[in-house]
Amino acid sequence: MAKTARIEVMDQNLAEALRNFLKAVLNREEISAVLAPRRLPMKNRVMPALITDPQQLDQADPLSPAFAVNSARLLSRLTRKPSGGQVAAVLRPCEIRAFVELVKLKQGRTDDVVIIGLDCLGAYSNRDYFRWATEPPEAATQKFSRAVLTGSGAAMDGVDLSPACKACESPTAEGADIAIGLFGVDTAKEIWVQARTAKGESLLGKLGFAEAPEPASRPKALEKLIAERIAYRDEMFQRTRAATETLEKLSTYLADCINCYNCRVACPVCYCRECVFVTDVFDHEPSQYLRWAEHRGAVKLPTDTLFYHLTRLAHMSTACVGCGQCSNACPNDLSLMELFRSVAHRTQAAFGYLAGRRIDEKPPLFEFRENEFPEVVGISRPSAG
């Protein structure tokens, strides 16, 4: 069975080669549908679509810099119970990581899914994408993918990759069943495909492609890209930590928040069906507001802004995959991804955990050991961290 394969790119049309690959997948009788980014017929926009008719894949646009939603959420809906069919889901690496977290949280199942992950070329923020997407969509995506893959970069026409993508040190589809390699591959001529699980191997084997070694230039290309990303990320952590290192600074950082909770709705791993912040726990008595105001002479409304963000950090930062959808969703342009990733990096490291890395790794708060973290118990060490 094929563990790897090479797909030929004709007439330098990378998107077309990917679409043909997806058509070959959809033509397998065991695959009922493909979930993939697809252009809307009525507007120059790309949204995830569940596709059963191979012809509809002509509008699939998996390389577009549009990233309106994290599809892990959608895939969790599709896999909550057996659907009677198997879905091939085309996902970005951060969508795969979020889905892995959701599966661990029992919010989705891998049973009826084959994940096809792409090397991620990155995305523009929603706002940037809307401004930028004026050309015919096929040409726009081609311009974008060529610029990224030839090394000239995603910055063009006054827009650039979102900060989340600039800081993303995991741009390859580690958790996919089938991973599609683009970086360090001569994509004018070919795409490199790798089966990463038995499930992926079985499907890839049936598609009849010849085995192909990893292109020699790929490891170096990835190494260089990841080093750039880590450099950006670490600088971002430093900047964000300095901007939030006291309660007063954190209040300043979050001052424009209006408690709309869009960031939580857009976050793929804030998983509660009903977030505590919209329950009656937060339907405070009118008299309570007066007491709060009297206590200090004034209370800022809406209340509970820091309370909300700090609680969210406590609830889900160990699962944050750095997708940036929180920033994307904020009506007031708060730099949320920066804050959440900076904290998540520390909370995940504290438990030796990396969100989305492995499906068989338990989330930090799902387990414990008898002897651990002695430094947090007791009061004898004033400086105990």
Site for another protein, rule CB under 8 A:
241, 244-251, 254-255, 257, 276, 296, 298, 300, 305-307, 310-311, 313-315, 317-318, 342-343, 346-347, 350-351, 364-365, 368-370, 372-373, 376-380, 382-385
**Residue the block writes with tokens 């990233």:** 67
Please identify, using beta-carbon distances, which residue of 81 and 369 lies nearer to another protein: 369
CA-to-CA separations, 37 to 114, 177, 307, in angstroms, rounded: 16, 18, 36
Please identify, using beta-carbon distances, which residue of 187 and 335 lies nearer to another protein: 335
Residue 288 beta carbon to ligand SF4: minimum distance, rounded to whole angstroms: 21
How far is Cα 90 from Cα 68, in angstroms, rounded to an integer?
Answer: 15
- Among another protein, ligand SF4, none, the one that 346 touches (CB under a kind-dependent 5 to 8 A) is another protein
Residue 305 beta carbon to ligand SF4: minimum distance, rounded to whole angstroms: 7
Q: One-letter amino acid identity for 287?
A: S
How far is Cα 245 from Cα 41, in angstroms, rounded to an integer?
Answer: 47
Please identify, using beta-carbon distances, which residue of 86 and 311 lies nearer to ligand SF4: 311
Residues 6+ apart with CB under 8 A from 172: 93, 117, 119, 120, 179, 181, 183, 222
Q: In what order do the strands lie in the sheet with 33-39?
A: 4-8, 190-195, 178-181, 113-118, 87-91, 33-39, 46-51
- Among ligand SF4, another protein, none, the one that 15 touches (CB under a kind-dependent 5 to 8 A) is none
Residue 254 beta carbon to another protein: minimum distance, rounded to whole angstroms: 7
**Residue the block writes with tokens 């077309």:** 16
Taking alpha carbons only, the member of 176, 218, 197 closest to residue 6 is 218
Residue 375 beta carbon to another protein: minimum distance, rounded to whole angstroms: 8
The end-to-end CA distance of the chain, in Å, is 51
- Among another protein, ligand SF4, none, the one that 342 touches (CB under a kind-dependent 5 to 8 A) is another protein
Please identify, using beta-carbon distances, which residue of 128 and 201 lies nearer to ligand SF4: 128
Residue 176 beta carbon to ligand SF4: minimum distance, rounded to whole angstroms: 18
Residue 91 in contact with residue 75, Cβ under 8 Å?
Answer: yes
Residue 57 in contact with residue 34, Cβ under 8 Å?
Answer: yes
- Among ligand SF4, another protein, none, the one that 376 touches (CB under a kind-dependent 5 to 8 A) is another protein
Q: Which residues bind ligand SF4 (CB under 6 A)?
A: 257-264, 266-270, 272, 275-277, 311-312, 315-316, 320-326, 329-332, 334, 336-337, 340
